[in-house]
Structure 1
């Protein structure tokens, strides 16, 4: 059966009853959206502040390939497995964006028998958080242009407005546009553009905020542009932050759903890891840590993107520290990194597996040596994996002072990940973490970017034109403590998505930098990376349908 067919046969429990039974949460603290999803009240979250924290497990992966890795599926399978072996565990995931659902990737609620449900709702609209973020973002954009139209008392320079518009869809035609055409009644013509909502600074702000007060303060600190005399102008000067916070007050509350095995899950926030910081919300993760002994969370794409930003941005700002890392890989994906075409991945190929293993080896070394975290490799099993391929992969992982566990959660649910669950418990009980950030707060922005590129990506150096270098120097003086959020292709350690494996000695080109003053980090856009993706030649949307009874098909 397909993922959606498995999800549609799920025996879900009403979320209010599940929360009461499993977590002792009274119904008054949950606002249901239908029967199977609900938002948790901020009052209840505040009541947990004196409870001790549980242990935090980060699930990350090798560099993605068309063969698939299964990071979210493994996160769900591990969470279910921990509960099966008698541990109190919760899962924290990001919300899927509509763009990838209708583009290449499809849904993002796990797969097979390791899914969160209701799968269709989670992938399509969910509780409206993305829409609230989009409206709040675009309200600020509208207020900027209205301010200019009404006299521009802040003296905004139309050429130096940084705040674009957003929508939750892949639409390359909107990357660069001109607004204000049609005469004086429609404002002043100027260049503008759209990003996808997952790349919005409002998304990052929501994901990093702990309270409504902090949310509103961060929104007010958004840098919208510069005046003609070079003065920075912020959203609070347009009096936009109060209304923006009002639009986001419910979106700040974590969403509770369940796995196929009826274990509670928070699905909240949705920044991409290739163009944003790639983690679920701080408020959901912190809340889960008060409610369970073990929390399993994932960070987007490979460990060079999601895990790095989870550690250097989210953990730095939220005071979090993972106890262990699970690095997800598949035999298929490693053979892809070794040069095998997708249609040939089901054939045994030990030579290609060994060649592609360098990608896993670098990610594993980065986690263990650069961040000082114990790491287990989860081999997400496919039926085409041969015994010889699995034996070779386990042997090579063990030679790097780690353990590789075969996981069959896609086919078997939590039962198929029990060995991984036991291995995780063993690691955290040994307490071998030597956790550290990749760079210090006071390092100049240029050096922070160079540190990530050279120590994690294997680059020899970074490059940028004089304009970008000047901007980074200025931002380093203004915001010396900000971390960096590198936007680059998820498919490679370089800025070129076609270069697989673990290349070294390359130069990472920085094309653009964007200060995210409200989120308190600086985005460095590398190579040809776009913050508004496009649809592929055959988008997934062509295969999605709904029948006369409202049953959805083609979503995966």
Structure 2
């Protein structure tokens, strides 16, 4: 059986100019990065109008795999197959998981975006531009301390650390400024992964270059000795940081293996950030096609909630349909079945594990958007299991479920799902957010924990309680909340699978992201700099003398 990278390498893509033409764009409206990649020039022409937006999400991820991106790509191809002008909007992969646990992140099998190797590696340099901009700002802060500290910044309160686009646990806690008077002011700091940088969130939530600069200037850097907040605007370097992102803000255009236009831009993780591709990318897909298929990171409790409560108010468009991806293997895993036994038919375990899917279906229904379940079929799934899951979903959960085989068959494996999505998009509904713009952070967290996670309450550390009090004094207490939580469970304990209830979510501290316009709540043991596994995916990768890459996925 061919690997994903072998399948992608055997695919012949169209010249990127022809892909742009599918969207009504001429050569003067794109900036080519070779023959198969381009950036969209801003502003992007067109109006969203009554074009349809489909959000693809999933159950909680497991080692058995869910295939959310694969179904997103396959659904986009299927919609084009049935005559609907469609574009796909996805996030950019981070080198952290690419070199770490997951390998590639461009879909799979016959439902991939290409050029797969480029997208998974350096692509058009957006991640590097963000890393450079973030660390330039960090260097400017430390230089300000070294050169006299005119702003009276208390080094112990600096919130802006450094970033790297790779998993590196050794950099979670570091000391800088060692080496004497000419080497800076010694202080403790840390590294995050680039996708956790506030600049990533700022880039993804900005509507144009000037909005980006406004947001950059609002970024909180730390506090003075008398507890006054210090922002980028106080440091007077907002323009310099913004210019480093002048190209990164432009969405990237590639294609699927079936030549569906794919706009890939921005890559915040949903477990430690807001988990959605850029507003500009989603708006571009909506403006340039009649149907836009997009995805949000990890399960619906994280990515979809943040898409609906953080991104949607700024997007100017609410989803017309939500597709929840599930696999039979992953549901059996939620019932406690071992990985080695997931290929064996087990209807009882399937029904037991389906409670995880049920919770996600109920959660998405709360937003008053039509919900459909996509069963991403594996070769080991039996007809009896697929039939049983469809019956459970349709009779117990009250939504339709469709068997999809996009990994094996590309868009042809999701035409039935595509027809259902079109029908759902024509349903008249009124979007219902989980909380209002006037709600406090405490109310927002309680709504998420009780209505999305299925928990009982939020428990705050002493530090978090003190922070909330100061946020209220500064007028930050009604910003949206971005929960940083494990992706593997509804709880803040990664080992609690299924659909737990009657639990508390523990918030240890908050991180104000004033440029992004939200407050991050760090829960449980969540980390903003992942580590590499014992056997990283990088061990399987190689390149030969012709430049051919192997082992990426």
* 8 Å CA contact 1:58, 1:322 repeated in 2: yes
* 1:387 aligns with one of 383, 386, 389: 383
Q: 1:505 is paired with a residue of what secondary structure?
A: coil
Q: 1:511 is paired with a residue of what secondary structure?
A: strand
* 2:82 aligns with one of 74, 82, 85: 85
1:331 aligned to 2:314?
Answer: no
Tell me the distance in 1 between the aligned counterparts of 2:530 and 2:267. Answer: 15
Question: Which residue of the partner structure matches residue 28 of structure 1?
Answer: 28
Question: Which residue of the partner structure matches residue 169 of structure 1?
Answer: 166
Would the alpha carbon gap of residues 165 and 466 (structure 1) be closer, same or farther in structure 2, given more than 3 Å must change? same
Q: TM-score, normalised by structure 2?
A: 0.98
* 2:393 aligns with one of 389, 397, 402: 397
Tell me the distance in 1 between the aligned counterparts of 2:424 and 2:410. Answer: 22
Bigger shift: residues 25-34 or 122-131: 25-34
Q: 1:244 is paired with a residue of what secondary structure?
A: helix
Aligned residues: 550
User: In the TM superposition, what is the alpha-carbon distance from 1:388 to its structure 2 partner?
Assistant: 1.5
* 2:60 aligns with one of 48, 56, 63: 63
* 8 Å CA contact 1:445, 1:476 repeated in 2: no
1:270 aligned to 2:267?
Answer: yes
User: In the TM superposition, what is the alpha-carbon distance from 1:210 to its structure 2 partner?
Assistant: 0.7
* 8 Å CA contact 2:468, 2:477 repeated in 1: no
* 8 Å CA contact 1:176, 1:194 repeated in 2: yes
Q: Which runs of 5+ in 1 are unaligned?
A: none
Tell me the distance in 2 between the aligned counterparts of 1:529 and 1:18. Answer: 40
Question: Which residue of the partner structure matches residue 6 of structure 1?
Answer: 7
Q: 1:156 is paired with a residue of what secondary structure?
A: coil
* 2:432 aligns with one of 436, 440, 451: 436
Matches within 5 A, 1:2-401: 2-20=3-21, 22-43=22-43, 45=44, 47-49=45-47, 52-368=49-365, 370-399=366-395, 400-401=397-398
1:470 aligned to 2:471?
Answer: no
Q: 1:42 is paired with a residue of what secondary structure?
A: coil
User: In the TM superposition, what is the alpha-carbon distance from 1:181 to its structure 2 partner?
Assistant: 0.5
Tell me the distance in 2 between the aligned counterparts of 1:94 and 1:18. Answer: 19
Tell me the distance in 1 between the aligned counterparts of 2:194 and 2:389. Answer: 38
Question: Which residue of the partner structure matches residue 507 of structure 2?
Answer: 510
User: In the TM superposition, what is the alpha-carbon distance from 1:462 to its structure 2 partner?
Assistant: 1.1
User: In the TM superposition, what is the alpha-carbon distance from 1:238 to its structure 2 partner?
Assistant: 1.1
* 8 Å CA contact 2:38, 2:254 repeated in 1: yes
What's the Cα RMSD here? 1.0
User: In the TM superposition, what is the alpha-carbon distance from 1:438 to its structure 2 partner?
Assistant: 0.7
Tell me the distance in 2 between the aligned counterparts of 1:52 and 1:366. Answer: 28
* 8 Å CA contact 1:445, 1:473 repeated in 2: no
Matches within 5 A, 1:406-445: 406-431=403-428, 433-445=429-441
Q: TM-score, normalised by structure 1?
A: 0.98
* 1:458 aligns with one of 449, 454, 458: 454
* 8 Å CA contact 2:463, 2:508 repeated in 1: no
Write out the 4+ residue segments of structure 1 that deviate beyond 4 Å after TM superposition: none
User: In the TM superposition, what is the alpha-carbon distance from 1:441 to its structure 2 partner?
Assistant: 1.5
User: In the TM superposition, what is the alpha-carbon distance from 1:53 to its structure 2 partner?
Assistant: 4.5
* 8 Å CA contact 1:442, 1:480 repeated in 2: no
* 8 Å CA contact 2:69, 2:106 repeated in 1: yes
Bigger shift: residues 78-87 or 310-319: 310-319
* 8 Å CA contact 1:513, 1:523 repeated in 2: yes
* 8 Å CA contact 2:19, 2:254 repeated in 1: no
Tell me the distance in 2 between the aligned counterparts of 1:297 and 1:222. Answer: 28
